[in-house]
Amino acid sequence: MRADVRRWLHDRTYPGNRWEPRALLRAKHQQGTTVSVVLPALDEERTVGAIVTSIRRTLVEACPLVDELVVMDSGSCDRTAAVAGDAGARVVHVDTVLPEHGGVPGKGEALWKSLHVTSGDLLVFVDADLVAFDPRFVVGLLGPLLTDPAVGYVKGLYDRPLTTTEGLVPSGGGRVTELLARPLLNAFWPELSGFVQPLSGEYAGRRELLESVPFASGYGVEFGLLVDLARVAGVSALAQADLGTRQHSHQSDAALGRMAGQILQTAMARRPGGGAPSPELVQFLRTEDGVEAVSWDVGTRDRPPMRLLRAERGGRRR
């Protein structure tokens, strides 16, 4: 593995349970910092209420680490807005934000518009489809930002079980991550190959940084942010926090294909010019004390057309 990636993994991977909410609250007050939590939601009436309730009770009321809790309704047809409002969130419909700039469908638009309607110095994004949500996700993501001024952006990392008709497959989830996003990132942005979950929907960042980069629409938003923030702030300003295990509702293979298409579009629009793709692929295994990186050579070589070879050999088959 590249030495810079190994160093980054060592310096910038934090256990999410390192921080106590009370200690972070003190740091937040000392710095005069404010925190907004944003949940992008499209038809998430089944899960959004429990997540909002959990954050409100634990991190707004019991220990006020969170100053603002907003659900960005991305155009839900179900009761997402009502459920989120009843649970205690401020609900903002994407169509009501910057209407003079029109609307683009998808998650990236909801996140982009959330910057306009929130005021926290730090933003924490949390998907609204998480099952068995733990508010320590928010604490773990805020920890590096509230304790190290050199950190500007923190992504969640976690185990991703896959729920199938036959039961739970412990690390079968994250199919787009494993089959597209990770290979793409490793090939063209190998300096970012230490990110265990480059597509994680749970991440936090400083407003000034998030407002300095474009937001790709749709499901390209996470890939775009990673690449753009690394360019603007440097890889050492990016970090990851180990949040344990995350479960969410899975999309169909066909829907994941469309997600992959959007990520590919986003990546290709940012692809560094020239240069062959890096042949190294870094994957991760869960261990007792965290995650272990395993490096593979996935470089391929073209063999010449057999006809040419045979011509060079004077037609000889042997």
Ligand X SMILES: O=c1ccn([C@@H]2O[C@H](COP(=O)(O)OP(=O)(O)O[C@H]3O[C@H](CO)[C@@H](O)[C@H](O)[C@H]3O)[C@@H](O)[C@H]2O)c(=O)[nH]1
Ligand Y SMILES: O=C(O)[C@H](O)COP(=O)(O)O
**Site residues (CB under 6 A) for ligand X?**
40-42, 44, 74, 105-107, 110, 127-129, 199, 201, 219, 222, 248, 251, 259
Q: Is 162 in the site for ligand Y (CB under 6 A)?
A: yes
Q: Which of 40, 106, 174, 205 binds ligand Y (CB under 6 A)?
A: 174
The answer to whether residue 177 forms part of the interface with ligand Y (CB under 6 A) is yes
> Out of ligand Y, ligand X, none, which partner does residue 106 contact, by CB within 5 to 8 A per kind?
ligand X
Nearer to ligand X, 60 or 111 (CB): 111
Cβ of residue 259: shortest distance to ligand X, in angstroms? Answer: 6
Contact with ligand Y (CB under 6 A): which of 79, 90, 93, 175?
175
Reference 56, options 46, 44, 42, 70; nearest CA is 70
* Among residues 23, 256, 264, 293, the one that binds ligand Y under rule CB under 6 A: 256
Backbone CA torsion sign across 126, 152, 178, 282: negative
Residue found under tokens 């295994």: 285
Q: Is 106 in the site for ligand Y (CB under 6 A)?
A: no
Nearer Cβ to ligand X, position 4 or 78?
Answer: 78
When asked if residue 176 is in the footprint of ligand Y (CB under 6 A), the reply is: yes
Q: Binding partner of residue 127 among ligand X, ligand Y, none, CB under 5 to 8 Å per kind? A: ligand X
Residue with tokens 């690449």: 227
Q: Taking a C-beta distance cutoff of 8 angstroms, is the pair 68, 59 a contact?
A: no
Cβ-in-10-Å burial (0-12, 13-18, 19+) of 309 comes to exposed
Are the C-beta atoms of residues 156 and 134 closer than 8 Å to each other? Answer: no
Q: Residue from 160, 216, 224, 262 that binds ligand Y (CB under 6 A)?
A: 160
Smallest gap from residue 32 Cβ to ligand Y (A): 36
Q: How far is the CB of 262 from ligand Y (least distance, A)?
A: 12
The structure tokens listed for 148 are 């190290």
Residue 199 makes contact with ligand Y by CB under 6 A: yes
Q: Which is nearer to ligand Y, 173 or 205 (CB)?
A: 173
Pairing of strands 130-131, 238-245: unpaired
Task: Provide, rounded to whole angstroms, the least separation between the CB of residue 122 and ligand Y.
Answer: 24
Three-state DSSP at 196 gives coil
Which among ligand Y, ligand X, none contacts residue 267 (Cβ within 5 to 8 A by kind)?
none
Write the CA distances from 131 to 78, 99, 103, 156, 197, integer angstroms.
Answer: 18, 33, 29, 16, 18
Minimum CB separation of residue 31 from ligand X in Å reads 28
- CA 53 – CA 64 distance, rounded (Å): 14
Measure the CA–CA gap between 237 and 274, rounded to whole angstroms. Answer: 26
C-alpha closest to that of 127 among 165, 171, 80 = 80
Cβ–Cβ under 8 Å, residues 252 and 167: no
Least distance (Å) between residue 275 CB and ligand Y:
26
Site for ligand Y, rule CB under 6 A: 160, 162, 173-177, 199, 250-251, 256
